[in-house]
Amino acid sequence: MTPAPRLRVSASPRLRVSVLLLAFLSPAAFAQPTPDTLLRAMRDELSRSRGLKVLSLEAPYFIEYTIEDGDSTEISASLGGLLSVRHNRFRIPEIKVRVGDYKFDNTGYVGSGYHFGTHYDIEGFPLENSYEVLRRFLWLETDSAYKSAVEAISRKRAALKNVAVSQPLDDFAKAEPLKKILEIRQTPLDEDAWSARVRALSAIFEAYPALRTSAVELSAVETADYYLNSEGAEVRIPDNMIYLMARAEAQAPDGMALHDAVIFQSLDFGRLPAEPELRRGVAAMAASLAARAGAPKGEDYSGPVLFEGTAGAQLFAEVLGRDLALNRRPVMEPGHNGSVQVSELEGRQGARILPEWFDVVDDPTQKEWRGHPLFGSYAVDREGVAPVPLSLVEKGVLKTFLLTRQPVPGFAGSNGRARLPGSFGANSAAISNLFVRAAETVPAQDLKKKLIEMCRQRNKPYGVIVRRMDFPSSASFQEVRRLMSNAEAGRPVSAPVLVYKVYPDGREELVRGLRFRGLNARSLKDIVAAGDDNNVFEFLNNQAPFATIGGASYVAESCAIAPSVLIDDVDLHALDEELPKLPIVPPPDLRAEAGRP
């Protein structure tokens, strides 16, 4: 059914050559592209669904079918023993129906996205390509999505009888229908080899008895993303990701709980670091956490802070990245108390948000940077829109935002940044590859000297260097909840993991138990110097606070490339919490156990 897409695009001879080359490299590519039954079933049922309407109720003006068709393998181990090995073949359909029109539809209401009424008892979507069965499932799912949409728009209209909307905006922006059918290749994961590797990596922690808990987890997902809509978009793209994480917890002698994680990730199964590098990374994290558990507690501090290396990129990814997306408040019944996280940058387009020697570009189309594959690259977003490079900040001035097809004040029209599911029937915008560039830099190694100099001028006994932040956070959900509820005004920012006091003589001292206070996107205006380094920080973004690992079911592969930065005025305060006591029973002697036959 689907014409051979490789042949269709290879109109130019140059392209044909590259395709042939690829074919030689990958045996799977020899196979003729098989007719895609799933795609055909989606196309046919979507086209039939345009006829949906109930007498006296409106017909759908927009229908969208998304199916993630894939395989996942998850392997976890602790201290040399496998905890679980799970392979999952899945198809996750997501069907959205909009009734009304682009100006006013069923979304953007506090009940949008909820399921009203009939829920057909669909236990699982067919994993096999039976055209009729696929049609039948799509039919039922469309039916219930349509009924929910009709219910939501009538409730929204009712709510609007009683509340006035200050800024009437359209509910949905038009977009060019994209046709992009890419070939999907299977590269099965060697489950046994990876099980052995995960087990072996988890055994590294046996040498660190000071750590309370530890685990190594591998997740490899290979997906074909299908996206079709009634405007004519038809997309099929591969979407693969491999992710290896080692995490651990420790308890300091005073009882303070500490945690850390090290993560390796790639869009390409074959491009995770080799085993020796993985082992080094895991051991370094374990040693660093053990050292932190033995370090003294930090004290309250107010003054210049150097975000060095990874921490600089993490800072931009978190505090700038999250505020570059705008959230729209939904229509609510009067008295309904729904809070929406408001961006610090809302309404500040045209204003200076960084020193004038800073530029910020978000570019998902770039696949590599100085030989390093970029983790935040993607071809099409969740709304079937191909993203374009965006110049977000020019000479310190905010130019635009990350946008989806949901219009926000001042902007209508997507720039292809719908990367995560959002609230009230919309999607959320998020960064891809965020390039933060400073035109005026100092050699990175001189930033520490500059920090010391600033402290000297201000008669401070020491300055502070942050080398890594807990972003995305490896904290437990209880801890995240505590952090959120203890947070003062504004959105809290991730805790710093590696914090060093720097004395005037250059000596450094690792301290623990500090949190930022009042650090946010506005703090970036106080950057006084940037290094000439470029730190590539890759991470899985999600909608949870601090992008907490495992905190939300949808993730967006992301990357920030940024220099180290010195910020003038940052407040750190010492954690003041009740601390759990140390265990009464000492831990078992792991090395004795490991040595047993």
Query: Under rule CB under 8 A, which residues in 299-328 are in contact with another protein?
Result: none
Q: Is 587 in the site for another protein (CB under 8 A)?
A: yes
Asked if residue 117 binds another protein (CB under 8 A), the reply is yes
* 40 vs 46: CA distance, rounded Å: 10
Please list, in sequence order, all residues whose beta carbon lies within 8 angstroms of the beta carbon of residue 202, skipping any fewer than 6 positions away. Answer: 77, 78, 79, 80, 81, 214, 215, 216, 246
- By CB under 8 A, tell whether 279 contacts another protein: yes
Both tokens of 506, joined, read 């250059």
Footprint of another protein on residues 496-515 (CB under 8 A)? Answer: none
Stretch that binds another protein, among 119-127, 397-405, 429-437, 505-513 (CB under 8 A): 119-127
| Candidate residues 121, 368, 488, 578; the one interacting with another protein per rule CB under 8 A | 121
Non-local CB neighbours of 64 within 8 Å, separated by 6+ positions: 95, 96, 97, 227, 228, 229, 230, 383, 384
Residue from the set 19, 133, 169, 487 that interacts with another protein by CB under 8 A: 133
Q: Least Å distance between CB 108 and another protein?
A: 24
Instruction: Kindly state the smallest distance separating residue 211's Cβ from another protein, in Å.
Output: 10
Comparison of 84 and 167: residue with beta carbon closer to another protein:
84
- Three-state secondary-structure class, residue 107: coil
Residues 164-223 that bind another protein (CB under 8 A): 190, 192-193, 195-197, 199-200, 202-203, 206, 212-213
132-140, 160-168, 218-226, 499-507 -> range binding another protein (CB under 8 A): 132-140
Q: Which stretch binds another protein (CB under 8 A): 41-49, 160-168, 308-316, 469-477?
A: 41-49
Residue found by looking up tokens 């490079």 in the block = 389
Q: Using CA atoms, how far apart are residues 48 and 145, in angstroms rounded to an integer? A: 15
**364 HSE (CA, 13 A, CB side):** 23
Complex with another protein: residue 80 or 373, whichever CB lies closer: 80
Q: Decide if residue 491 touches another protein (CB under 8 A).
A: no
State in angstroms the smallest separation of the CB of 220 from another protein.
15
* Binding of another protein by 54 (CB under 8 A): yes
Closest approach of another protein to the CB of residue 132, in Å: 6
Helices (H), 294-376: 310-315
- CB-nearer residue toward another protein: 163 or 582: 582
Query: Which residue carries 């209401």 as its tokens?
Result: 109
C-alpha torsion angle, residues 152, 157, 163, 165 (rounded to 10):
90
**Amino acid letter for position 525:** K
Nearer to another protein among residue 147 and residue 419 (C-beta): 147
- Which residue in 101, 128, 268, 577 binds another protein (CB under 8 A)? 128
Residue 146 binds to another protein (criterion: CB under 8 A): yes
- Tokens at 258, concatenated: 């500490």
Smaller CB separation from another protein, 504 or 587: 587
Identify residues 343-362 at the interface with another protein (CB under 8 A). Answer: none
The sign of the CA dihedral 142, 145, 151, 153 is negative
Residues 86-105 within binding reach of another protein (CB under 8 A): 86-89
Distance CA 34, CA 19 (A): 17
**Contact call for residue 574 and another protein (CB under 8 A):** no
Cβ–Cβ < 8 Å for 95, 64? yes
154 binds another protein (CB under 8 A): no
Closest distance of CB 390 from another protein, Å: 41
Residue 400: burial class (beta carbons within 10 Å; 0-12, 13-18, 19+): middle
Least distance (Å) from another protein to the CB of residue 461? 39
CB of 503 to another protein, least distance (A): 38
| Contact of 557 with 267, CB cutoff 8 Å | yes
Among 18, 26, 130, 391, binds another protein (CB under 8 A): 130
Q: How many residues bind another protein (CB under 8 A)?
A: 76
Min dist. Cβ of residue 89 to another protein (A): 7
* Binding piece for another protein, criterion CB under 8 A, among 38-46, 155-163, 307-315, 326-334: 38-46
β-strands 179-181, 234-251 pairing: parallel
- On whether the CB atoms of residues 565 and 312 are closer than 8 A, the answer is yes
Closer CB to another protein, 196 or 552, in the complex = 196
- HEC letters along 133-199: HHHHHHHHHHHHHHHHHHHHHHHHHHHHCCCCCCCCCCCCCCCCCCEEECCCCCCCCCHHHHHHHHH
Phi-psi domain of 309 (left: phi exceeds 0; alpha: psi -120 through 50; beta: other): left
CB-wise, 279 or 460, nearer to another protein?
A: 279
Segment lying near another protein (by CB under 8 A), choices 12-20, 85-93, 225-233, 489-497: 85-93
Residue 102 or 125 having the CB closest to another protein? 125
CB nearer to another protein: give 126 or 551: 126
**Which residue among 36, 38, 45, 380 contacts another protein (CB under 8 A)?**
45
Nearest Cα residue to 560 out of 363, 286, 343, 331: 363
According to DSSP, residue 353 is labeled -
- Over its C-alpha atoms, the chain yields an Rg (Å, rounded) of 26
Between β-strands 301-307 and 463-469, what pairing exists: parallel, antiparallel or unpaired?
parallel
Q: Of the ranges 83-91, 328-336, 429-437, 492-500, which one interacts with another protein (CB under 8 A)?
A: 83-91
Question: Whole-number minimum distance, CB 149 to another protein, in Å?
Answer: 12
Task: Rule CB under 8 A: choose which of 26, 101, 120, 356 binds another protein.
Answer: 120
Structure tokens at 202: 């988890």
For another protein, the closer CB: 29 or 83: 83
